[in-house]
Every structure is written in structure tokens, then in C-alpha cells.
Amino acid sequence: MAGPSVLRFGGQRTKAAPQGARQHNRFFYMLLAMPGIIWLTVLFIVPFYDVLAIAGGRLDFLTGSPVAVYNPLNWSHANLVQTWNGIFGATAFQLPIIWRTIWYTAVASGLCLLIGYPAAYFVARFAGRRKALFLVLLIAPFWISYMMRMLAWIGLLQTNGYLNKFLGAIGLPNDINWLGGHWYTVVLGLVYGYIPYIILVLYAGLDRIDGSLLEAGRDLGLSRAETFLKVTLPLSRQPILTGMLITVLPMLGDYYTNQLLSGTPRTAMIGNVIQTQLGTNGFQGQGAVLSLLVLAVLVIPMVYYVRATSRAAREAS
């Protein structure tokens, strides 16, 4: 079956290659992919089944820790009911948190886009010979740890920090307690934390737009603003959508920005609830249910994102 090795695969001659050789090659490539496949199965797919098993599991009343139940036929709905009561029940406190999460995330990612788009647009289109410099400065925050960037604002926003000093210097009230649990501080932190990611996506997308399309628009008599509205903006629809997702998805699981810049339940988001339940005996099962609910809501945008980026990758090649 082996035949001369020349015939084994590739090129024109593949068509004549014996069936066994092609099978052999397929086996080789399957073998290459196998470690990754096994890893993803054991450490990605199985863990999510485990979350289901915890969510449908029982509570060990002695230790207060959750007991996973792996047979779906034996799953109990106790955790689901408790979570439901936590959201919609008579003593519910989570519904306002969910609304707040949506509201914060919408405002913060909208601001990310409003600030990020013009900057990315300028660097992609007009930076000219200084493009490398601008790009380095745009990318720099991407390499700086999130904690360091939060520390920076913790220093600036303290009551005796530079922001209040600056406000005082221009004659505004200078005794604002920025870190005392305000929604605008949390939104500022979210924007500051996630804007580098959306800017990179927007820059890559805008940089890919063929300049001759814009010239054609201008040659046909469109003004600068019209060219932007009729050519650039429609062509950047995809980067805008993926960029928004790349900021929205992590914001929905963010608990640390809130903890560092506010630290009060008044500004708590859904991430804070999950993280607290995870660390509280007796509530871990509900934490599992809540994370699965968040995941269920996000599955559609996630799949959309995956499809959009792999389509873009195929078109680029």
C-alpha cells in the first residue's frame, strides 16, 4: 500500500495516490491535533459539565460545601429555585444589580467606542509617517497590567489626590470623594480598563480599508464628512461590532474594578454577586447557576463573535 513516497500526498499527483497513503496522512494530522483536543475536552468541556453538576447538585449541610451530582436524571432544582427567588422573589435584591450591570456596561462600552473610534481613525488614516509612534502609544496600555492601571486611578482619585487639586485650581469644588461608591467612578474605571482592546480592533479594521475607495468617493464629489458617512462608516461596521463585544464580554464578568474603585454594594454588578457567592459557603451552588445564566445570555454574542472573526480571517487570507 505504501508505494513510492513521492506519491504520498500533495501536488497534482495526490489524486493518483493510493487510498492508504492519504489515510495515513490524515491520521498524522489528527495525531497533531489530538493533544489540544484532549486538553480542551478535559479542561474546558468537562469543567463546564461540572458547573452543571454543581448547579444541579445538593448542599452538604455539615460542611456547607456543594456536592456535585453527575447524573442529569438526579439533578435537583433547589439551586435554580433559590437563584430565581434571589432575582424575582419577594426579598429579591439581584434584579436591580442586573439592571445596573446592563446600564453600566452599556454606558461604558458606548464611551469606549465614542472615544476609541476617532483616535483609531486618526492613527489609521492620517498619522502618516508618525504612524509607528502613535501605534506604540495606543498599544502601550495593552501591555500594562489592569491592576497597575487601577492603582493609577486610585492615587489620582483620592480626596487629596491630583484630580481634586486640579479641580480646585480651576475653581471647582475640590473635596469630592471619588472613591466613595459612585457610578461615574466605576464607569470611568471600566472605560479606562477596556478601551485599549476596542482601539486595537478598530485600528486593525480601519487600517484594512482600501484607501482607493475613499479616494474614489472624494473624486466623485463627496465632501470629507460624506465620504466618512458613506464609505468609511459602513466599512467599519464589523470592527465596531467585534470591538464592542470585546469590551462588553469582560465587563459583564468584572468584579475587581468595582471593588477597587468603589467597594460598596451600591455599585455592585453581577460579577460581584457571582464572586461573593463563590467564596461563601452554602451559596456556591447558586453561584454556579448564576454563571450558567450569564453564559446562556452571552452564548449568542459569543458565537456571533467567533463566526465574524473567523470569516474576517478567511477573507484576509
Partner 1 sequence: MTTAATTQQAAATEAARAARPGPRWPKRNPWRHPWFLESFTWLYLIWSLLPIGLAILFSFNSGKSQAVWQGFSWRWYLTDPVLSVAHSNVLQLAVLQTLKLSAYTTLIAVPLGVLFALGIHRWRTRTGATFNFVMLLSFVIPELIFGVAMFFVFTSLFSGISLGTLAETLALVTWNVSWPAIIVQARLATIGNSYSEAAADLGCNPFQTMYRVWLPLLSPAILASAILVFSTVIDDFVIVDLLSNSAANTPMSVYIYATQRGGNGGPALNALGTIMLIMSFVIAILGYIGYRLMTRGERGTSTDALATIAGS
Q: How far is the CB of 22 from partner 1 (least distance, A)?
A: 11
End-to-end alpha-carbon separation of the chain, Å? 36
Q: Under a CB-based contact definition with an 8 Å cutoff, are residues 240 and 117 in contact? A: yes
Q: Which of 15, 19, 36, 61 binds partner 1 (CB under 8 A)?
A: 36
Which parts of 80-109 interact with partner 1 (CB under 8 A)? none
Query: Judged by CB, which is closer to partner 1: 63, or 77?
Result: 63
Least spacing, CB of residue 85 vs partner 1, in Å: 21
Subset of 43-72 contacting partner 1 (CB under 8 A): 43-48, 50-51, 53-54, 65-68
Q: Return d(Cα 285, Cα 298) in angstroms, integer.
A: 20
> Per CB under 8 A, which region of 77-85, 96-104, 169-177, 192-200 contacts partner 1?
192-200
Could you say which of 31, 90, 225, 300 contacts partner 1 (CB under 8 A)? 31
Could you tell me the smallest distance in angstroms from the CB atom of residue 172 to partner 1?
18
Residues 268-287 binding partner 1 (CB under 8 A) are: 271, 274-275, 278, 284, 287
Q: Is 249 in the site for partner 1 (CB under 8 A)?
A: yes
178 part of the interface to partner 1, by CB under 8 A? no
Q: Give Cβ neighbours of residue 65 (< 8 Å, ≥ 6 apart).
A: 59, 281, 284
Site for partner 1 in 120-149 (CB under 8 A): 121-123, 126, 131-132, 134-149
From the list 19, 71, 91, 160, which residue makes contact with partner 1 (rule: CB under 8 A)? 160
Minimum CB separation of residue 142 from partner 1 in Å reads: 5
As given in the structure block, the three cell numbers for residue 169 are 485650581
CB nearer to partner 1: pick between 119 and 209:
119
Q: Which of 23, 34, 266, 281 binds partner 1 (CB under 8 A)?
A: 34
Pick the stretch among 73-81, 83-91, 229-237, 254-262 that binds partner 1 (CB under 8 A). 254-262
Do you know the residue count of the chain?
A: 317
6 binds partner 1 (CB under 8 A): yes
Nearer to partner 1, 30 or 81 (CB): 30
Only segment of 1-9, 74-82, 83-91, 97-105 that touches partner 1 (CB under 8 A): 1-9
Query: 34 vs 81, which CB is nearer to partner 1?
Result: 34
Gap between the Cα atoms of 316 and 59, Å rounded: 51
The cell for 129 is: 509617517
Could you tell me the smallest distance in angstroms from the CB atom of residue 89 to partner 1? 23
Helices 237-252, 94-126: inter-axial angle, 10-degree rounding: 140
Q: How far is the CB of 199 from partner 1 (least distance, A)?
A: 9
Which of the ranges 21-29, 84-92, 103-111, 230-238 carries the binding residues for partner 1, by CB under 8 A?
Answer: 21-29
